[in-house]
Amino acid sequence: MGAGRQGRVRHDPRRRPVTDPARSAALETLAAVRERGAYANLVLPGLLRDKRLTGRDAAFATELTYGTCRAQGLLDAVIEDASGRPVAEIDGPVLDALRLGVYQLLRTRVGAHAAVSETVDAVKATSGRGASGFTNAVLRKVSKDDEDTWVARVAPSAADDLLGHLAVQYAHPRWIAQAFWDALRANGIRSMGQLQALLASDDSRPPVHLVARPGEISAEELALIVEGETGGLSPYAVYLPGGDPGALEPVRDGLAGVQDEGSQLVARAAAVAPLEGPDGGRWLDLCAGPGGKAALLGSLASIDGARVDAVEPAEHRAELVRKAVRGLPVDVHVADGRASGLEPGYDRVLVDAPCSGIGALRRRPEARWRKQPSDVAGLTVLQRELLAAAAALTRPGGVVLYATCSPHVAETLGIVGDDELLASAGLERIDTRPLVPETGLPLGEGPHVQLWPHLHGTDAMFFQALRKR
């Protein structure tokens, strides 16, 4: 029986935790993530509104929540060492509180006394005196050493297993750290220092990127309105210094959206890739949900006099696409991209394929601990089928842009580097690097583009332009 159950006193479930509102919001979000597989970035904003948290309190709750989710693997290793028992044997609410407390002790400037006392009080109110005593003992033991000391204690030796050590140090499952290392090497980067920089970047809270809708507002105008900074890669990107982007007037009015700069580059590349023959204005987004790239593609199509068909198999996600592209020359179709029923002859087809998503982990703090290496095999089958379907819908001389928000070799070069697959689909690779605006940042040897958080400040997006022969 878990330590949290030992000596636990029955309590009134209506009792509110004796903790400050910011920590309370964080604990409630962590519980939702653990109990029902919720996404922290969807749960927390509502709790902040319900608790009327703004300014520093909201920022503190956000840091505690996302930081704890992101560092969960490291936190659990420390908790197991300090408590002498597997985390699976600890009651869920107690484990949530321990993770939150250990995160504060190791990765924030919160004083040890406040971190321990607030956490113990919360556990006492919800789980009883026995569980609070257990929590107090664990946190006091953790508080005696800093993060580096704990990493040295719970991680594999850097001398014997550097990759495993870095995975624990920067809170990544080992298989994802290995996938990053394989992808770096496949792209000509063979320095473990680069892997360390990548993991460190992926372990930090990312900046918010906005996209200025072309034809509606320029990046320069948007930056002035929101007091941000224009992007370094995408001509539509603005970096937001802080705050809730949903509260910004340009976002509310549909003049701008929240979109990683790497995703902006993908949509732009699909719109500007060179064709053989004239552009007839038939564009297709074959995997459109939830609609960010479809909206940018639609904005560019509006300028060029083109029209976009957007395909999404799930009705609820198709509704998200409809909302994102409202007022744009985009038609949304609820269909499987592998058998869309659409008439062939498209000039441009974007295949933003469903993938493991390990290139966007910094924006989904809990996701790294949910994914499994076995997920990739099924996805690569789907990716191949979607690419073949896209090729069949593309006219000769037209372009297919294949993209993933994953650098995993099986999902990237394993797909577009397969000469047999491309030959059967009638596709040939074209140099994709010129489709990225010149910035001086390294884009590798090509012909594909692989972006990296630590080198480009974007999610680890991969994209390859392919021409239909």
Q: Identity (one letter) of the amino acid at 22?
A: A
| Neighbouring C-alpha atoms within 13 Å toward the C-beta of 365 | 25
The separation between CA 153 and the C-alpha centre of its own chain, rounded to angstroms, equals 29
Tokens matching residue 447: 């012909």
How would you classify residue 281: left for phi > 0, otherwise alpha for psi between -120 and 50, otherwise beta?
A: left
Say if residue 336 carries a ligand binding annotation. Answer: yes
Work out whether strand 307-312 and strand 282-285 pair parallel, antiparallel, or are unpaired.
parallel
Say if residue 288 carries a ligand binding annotation. Answer: yes
Whether residue 271 contacts residue 348, with contact meaning beta carbons closer than 8 Å, is answered with yes
Say if residue 220 carries a ligand binding annotation. Answer: no
Place of tokens 């406040």: 114
Say if residue 4 carries a ligand binding annotation. Answer: no
What is the spatial distance between Cα 363 and Cα 127, in angstroms, rounded to a whole number? Answer: 32
405 is catalytic: yes
Length of the chain: 469
Say if residue 291 carries a ligand binding annotation. Answer: yes
* Given 115, 123, 342, 405, the catalytic residue: 405
Say if residue 35 carries a ligand binding annotation. Answer: no
| Neighbouring C-alpha atoms within 13 Å toward the C-beta of 212 | 24
How would you classify residue 92: left for phi > 0, otherwise alpha for psi between -120 and 50, otherwise beta?
A: alpha
Residue 225's CB is within 10 A of a number of other CB atoms, namely 16
Say if residue 130 carries a ligand binding annotation. Answer: no
Say if residue 51 carries a ligand binding annotation. Answer: no
Binding residues, by number, are: 287-293, 312, 336, 352
Binding residues for S-adenosyl-L-methionine, by number, are: 287-293, 312, 336, 352
Catalytic residues: 405
